[in-house]
Amino acid sequence: MVKGFSDNEVKNDADKKESKKEKKGLAAFLKGKKFTYTLPGKKQINIFGSIVLGLNMILILLVILYLKNQEFHDFVFNVGR
């Protein structure tokens, strides 16, 4: 006999079937649906990368402008109120 196993098998199939509940809400809606994920192509990666880099550059420019230009600082301060 291998350690950790017994010769007497216990059948718990009835308990497993009873413990399964019907799915509700979103899980019930998605039960029959099959989703597949495909990796983005090179063109799509370049587009999203360009958007992210462009927005980061705009953010850096606005922070520098906020710190160096008092009129812009006052404008942001007043609009934020």
In a domain, 32, yes or no: no
What is the percent of the chain where pLDDT is above 90?
47
Taking the CA atoms of the chain, what radius of gyration do you get in angstroms?
30
What domain range is 70 assigned to?
38-81
Q: Model's pTM, two decimal places?
A: 0.52
In a domain, 20, yes or no: no
In a domain, 79, yes or no: yes
Number of domains in the chain: 1
In a domain, 45, yes or no: yes
pLDDT tens-digit map of 46-56: 999 999 999 99
Contact in structure between 7 and 1 (CB atoms under 8 Å) = yes
In a domain, 69, yes or no: yes
In a domain, 26, yes or no: no
In a domain, 74, yes or no: yes
In a domain, 13, yes or no: no
Q: How many CB atoms lie within 10 A of CB 75?
A: 12
AA identity, residue 48: F
Say what the pLDDT of residue 57 is.
98
Contact in structure between 28 and 22 (CB atoms under 8 Å) = yes
